[in-house]
Amino acid sequence: MKKLFLTIVLSVSLFFKSFADEGMWLPLLLGQQVYNDMVKKGLKLTKDQLYHINKASLKDAIIIFGGGCTGEIVSAEGLIFTNHHCGYDAIAKASSVDHNYLQNGFYAKNKGEEIPTSLSVQFLLRIDDVTALVLDSLKGLSGAERVQRQGAILANINRRMSDATQNIETRVSALFKGNQFLAFVYQRYTDIRLVGTPPESVGKFGGDTDNWEWPRHTGDFSVFRVYADPEGKPAKYAEANKPLKPKWYLPVSLKPLKDGDFAMIWGYPGGTNRYESSYGIKIATDINNPTLVKLRDMRLKYMFEEMKKDPAIKLQLASSYAGIANYWKFFDGETKQLLKYDVFGQKKKAEEKFNAWAKGKPEYENIFADWGKAYEAWTPFAKHRQYINEGIFGSPLIGFASSLIQLETALVKTGSTQADIKKAAEAANEQRKNFLAAENKLSDEHILAAVTRMFYEDVDKEQHPVGFYGNLKNTYGPLNDEATYKKYAADIFSKTIIFDDARWNAFIANPDANVLQSDPAFGYASTFYTNYSSKYLPKFQQFTAKNAEFGRIYLKGIMEMDPVKAKMMYPDATFTMRVSYGNVKSYRPRDAVFYDYVTTSKGLLEKYKAGDYEFDLPANQIELLKKKDFGQYMDPTRKDLVIGFITTNDITGGNSGSPVINNKGELIGLAFDGNYEALSHKLAFDKDLNRTICVDIRYVLWCIDKLGGGSNIIKELKLMK
């Protein structure tokens, strides 16, 4: 099995041309044919310069930034570039109304001005193939038993290959739906400091209107630095810490871009599911995505109403709002593209071909009949699950109240000690502090009222918590009246102990299950949680185990059915290091429409609207751009400042902040978005329309230098002209 998958990855590019620029390749298994194709497209680096275990290589400059982004090291003193939206939460937390770095921007003039954060970054040390070890331990197992055993095996490998004393962490990733397993070994650094950020009007220019759209004019970048102890080892924040001396850092290119230039992107794509079944496509387009979009649309509406009233509230909710909004638009676009290009129909045709081949083969011939039954059993409850995750617990108050179920368990569980209860109470008290700091009661009260009504109207009545809506009707009024839900939500917010310091402190000092259970916010959370977890969560767990099993067997069968096609397959993204390659490239999204491969300051000024929530810009930026004060960052071919560009690279969420690198290994931009015409990319890659949207590195440097006065940062970089 191990050799089979090495063959798949190593020989894939023999047939790569039919896949255009599709593919997120594992650098460990970057075979000669793939490398040869990269060279043919223009790459000038050797394979060892790209990836090497024992020698410094380009992979050593690529980091996991925070919890879900990519960053890159760009100086000999541990300077990090990533996206503005990746650093957004840290920037917001460092800000106050008096020192609003989110609104006004910030650049440290020296290392002493750099601001400590709670962020961490991870460097990849090596990748080990543990496929044989895992599969040998899973022989003869299937379904839930296999899932449980696999989880235990991976956890054991992770523990064995980790070392807390060195901040070394191992995470085994299941690839090809559990047919291959690789162990990724990382080292985590926790002293990360904010060095610079543009004003939010630059970093988020275009807001939700331009999100997932091209042309784009967003300066989506921020600057951090990684520190280590005097010996270069990971350490907690300390004044004695020194900037990390990296194994490799990226030089920065000031050269103009041309249509067709080679581009590769390194990073940590979060997740794709391109080997999904037709059943999975259908449930996504019919239930999961539309429900998520509807619920997030509601939450964003009420948050935005409060944010636009007060700068302090905008700052308070900014990070949460941005996260909700990002994938609200994504899943809306994904659904439209999946339907437009009939991905369901394409999947069905492939499955029909597989079924014809599978006849007479016991391991495979009944897969789709059984798979269909599994989806049929789960589908009636899929909307309920979305409502729990995106609606009921989408209310911050109810989300926090649900966390108190752990405290309730400690209070009522037979055998719980006073130490157990004290520990749970202290944890709840700490969580409450974080919750209150982020909570906006007005928007949240509206969200709670709205989602309670939406659940009543949208979710099958037989799945409602027993007696809940009957009691609501008897106490507050008709269930088809908006006022009923508003009164109910107002009651919860006014009577819960969670917002009452005196009552809360008394409760924490002497935790009592009766007090907690009688609280209206906890009662609401507990009612919906218990209803779902006792009746529908087991169904979901059964479904996911079967879905995983059928997916694994189907992919195994596909490889047996068509060995040639098997050689064209690459593993789905799993938030593990990947490299994609392609070209800077213009495109035609529809009839009579042509999109250039770059945007410039001319277009930025055309979009600018003074005082607008999404399209405002700093006054000094307008002045500098109108004077064409571009300095060394001007594009000589356009006599303008290039803001963004697009490439054909294959990326997904998690690649935010990824370096876009030219054929010589030089940084030319930061990836930050995809285009709306190809938002099906998690489930299906569009070889003609897929584009990655990037901020041009020359605009990043111009913002730091000319706009922000951070010339000290520029001096750290190795500029290639």
> Does residue 233 lie within any of the structural domains?
yes
663: CATH = 2.40.10.120
3-state SS track over 393-448:
HHCHHHHHHHHCHHHHHHHHCCCCCHHHHHHHHHHHHHHHHHHHHHCCHHHHHHHH
Q: pLDDT value at position 314? A: 86
> Does residue 392 lie within any of the structural domains?
no
> Does residue 336 lie within any of the structural domains?
no
> Does residue 707 lie within any of the structural domains?
yes
Q: pLDDT value at position 67? A: 87
Q: pLDDT value at position 613? A: 84
Q: Convert the pLDDT of each residue in 508-545 to its tens digit.
A: 999 999 999 999 999 999 999 999 999 999 999 999 99
Indicate the range of 31-45, 100-114, 262-276, 416-430 predicted with least confidence. 31-45
pLDDT at 14 over 50: no
> Does residue 159 lie within any of the structural domains?
no
The tokens of 356 are what? 């014809």
Contacts of 597 (CB under 8 A, 6+ apart): 257, 259, 584, 585, 586, 645, 646
Question: What are the φ and ψ backbone dihedral angles of 467, each rounded to 5 degrees?
Answer: 80, -10
Q: pLDDT value at position 7? A: 33
Cis before residue 198, ω within 30 degrees of 0? no
Indicate the range of 7-21, 351-365, 428-442, 521-535 predicted with least confidence. 7-21
Q: How far apart are CA 300 and CA 328, in angstroms?
A: 9
Measured from the Cβ of residue 646, the count of other Cβ atoms closer than 10 Å reads 28
Average pLDDT over residues 198-208: 95
Is 497:507 a contact under the CB 8 Å cutoff? yes
Q: pLDDT value at position 15? A: 31
> Domain range spanning residue 41?
2-120+190-273+572-720
Q: pLDDT value at position 586? A: 97
6: left (phi over 0), alpha (psi -120 to 50) or beta: alpha
Average pLDDT over residues 155-166: 97
Q: Is 217 a catalytic residue?
A: no
What's the chain's average pLDDT?
93
Q: How far apart are CA 681 and CA 650, in angstroms?
A: 8
Q: How far apart are CA 80 and CA 89, in angstroms?
A: 16
pLDDT band at 5 (very low <50, low <70, confident <90, very high): very low
The 8-class DSSP code of residue 58 comes to: G
pLDDT at 598 over 90: yes
Largest CA distance in the chain: 75
Strand-strand pairing, 659-661 and 262-267: antiparallel
Task: With residue 47 as reference, give the H or E element that holds it.
Answer: helix 47-50
Catalytic residue among 89, 208, 220, 686: 220
pLDDT band at 91 (very low <50, low <70, confident <90, very high): very high
Is 546:557 a contact under the CB 8 Å cutoff? no
Measured from the Cβ of residue 564, the count of other Cβ atoms closer than 10 Å reads 9
pLDDT band at 568 (very low <50, low <70, confident <90, very high): low
Q: How far apart are CA 198 and CA 204, in angstroms?
A: 9
Q: pLDDT value at position 327? A: 81
Is 172:158 a contact under the CB 8 Å cutoff? yes
pLDDT band at 18 (very low <50, low <70, confident <90, very high): very low
Q: How far apart are CA 192 and CA 187, in angstroms?
A: 14
pLDDT band at 10 (very low <50, low <70, confident <90, very high): very low
Q: Is 95 a catalytic residue?
A: no
Amino acid identity, residue 476?
Answer: Y
Q: pLDDT value at position 464? A: 98
Catalytic residue among 526, 656, 658, 680: 656
Q: What's the start-to-end Cα distance of the chain, in Å?
A: 48
> Does residue 340 lie within any of the structural domains?
no
Query: Where do the DSSP E strands lie in 547-691?
Result: 578-583, 598-600, 642-647, 659-661, 667-674
Q: Convert the pLDDT of each residue in 391-418 to its tens digit.
A: 999 999 999 999 999 999 999 999 889 9
Tally the domains of the chain.
1
Q: How far apart are CA 332 and CA 285, in angstroms?
A: 9
Q: Could you give the residue ranges of the DSSP H alpha helices within 496-610?
A: 501-509, 513-517, 520-535, 537-561, 563-566, 601-607
Q: How far apart are CA 258 and CA 584, in angstroms?
A: 7
Average pLDDT over residues 236-256: 97
pLDDT band at 13 (very low <50, low <70, confident <90, very high): very low
> Does residue 36 lie within any of the structural domains?
yes
Half-sphere exposure of 432 (CA within 13 A, CB side): 19
Average pLDDT over residues 666-674: 97
Q: Is 85 a catalytic residue?
A: yes
Q: pLDDT value at position 323? A: 83
Catalytic residue among 11, 21, 75, 85: 85
> Does residue 628 lie within any of the structural domains?
yes
